[in-house]
């Protein structure tokens, strides 16, 4: 088994964000019909998968905690994503979702938790469960919290810059690489792949 894995955020990395009329912002899909993979994602994932990298999704999904969605809707969105990926021959080793939010309104899903990015909790669990060498792994995301998560776990980081405004705090670390799309991230990872 590969000792290196690719950790990927979901929304804005694998699938398009959607306009939420209630907030006026681009956010996670609200229904299964909203799930649309971004152009170039499938070939990029195929290349990484073919190179032997296990793929692990790590995503904050607080819509239930914030009262914007139901758990059934979140499960249906996830099922649609899996269907789209499997149809394209893409298999993820694990899907990790944090459903909590510090300002949530749903009991049991509100307040601080151990798993919400920028916490590296899911990456550390994958290391322990699968024996990954985190220094050989990568985290790909489109938010500073993805970079913070990766840095805290000791993995290399790539941030996708969609051109949309992102809240960057002065303490947010820079990613190791900044690219526009997932295929460019795959190029970087495969160029840095250790010789066997």
In CATH, what number is assigned to the domain containing residue 31? 3.40.50.1000
Residue from 11, 34, 39, 176 carrying the catalytic annotation:
11
Split into its structural domains, the chain has a count of 1
What's the pLDDT tens digit per position in 55-98?
999 999 999 999 999 999 999 999 999 999 999 999 999 999 99
Specify if 196 maps to a domain.
no
In the annotation, is 9 catalytic? yes
Domain that holds residue 147: 6-191
Q: Which of 133, 40, 139 is nearest to 90 (CA)?
A: 40
Residue from 9, 128, 142, 146 carrying the catalytic annotation:
9
Q: Which of 55, 195, 66 is nearest to 137 (CA)?
A: 55
Specify if 1 maps to a domain.
no
Specify if 98 maps to a domain.
yes
In the annotation, is 129 catalytic? no
CA 17 to chain centre: 13
What's the pLDDT tens digit per position in 92-112?
999 999 999 999 999 999 999
């Amino acid at each position: 088994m590969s000792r290196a894995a690719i950790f990927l955020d979901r929304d804005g990395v694998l699938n398009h964000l959607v306009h939420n009329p209630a907030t006026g912002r681009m956010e996670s899909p609200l229904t299964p019909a909203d799930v649309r993979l971004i152009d170039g994602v499938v070939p990029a994932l195929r290349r990484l998968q073919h190179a032997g990298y296990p793929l692990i999704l790590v995503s904050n999904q607080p819509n239930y905690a914030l009262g914007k969605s139901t758990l059934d809707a979140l499960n249906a969105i996830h099922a649609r994503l899996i269907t789209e990926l499997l149809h394209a021959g893409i298999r993820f080793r694990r899907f990790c979702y944090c459903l909590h939010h510090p300002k949530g309104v749903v009991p049991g899903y509100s307040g601080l938790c151990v798993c919400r990015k920028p916490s590296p909790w899911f990456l550390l669990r994958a290391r322990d469960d699968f024996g990954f060498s985190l220094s050989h792994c990568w985290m790909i995301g489109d938010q500073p919290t993805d970079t913070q998560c990766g840095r805290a776990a000791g993995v290399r980081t790539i941030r996708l810059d969609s051109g949309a405004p992102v809240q960057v705090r002065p303490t947010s670390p820079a990613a190791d690489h900044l690219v526009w799309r997932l295929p460019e991230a795959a190029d970087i990872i495969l160029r840095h792949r250790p010789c066997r």
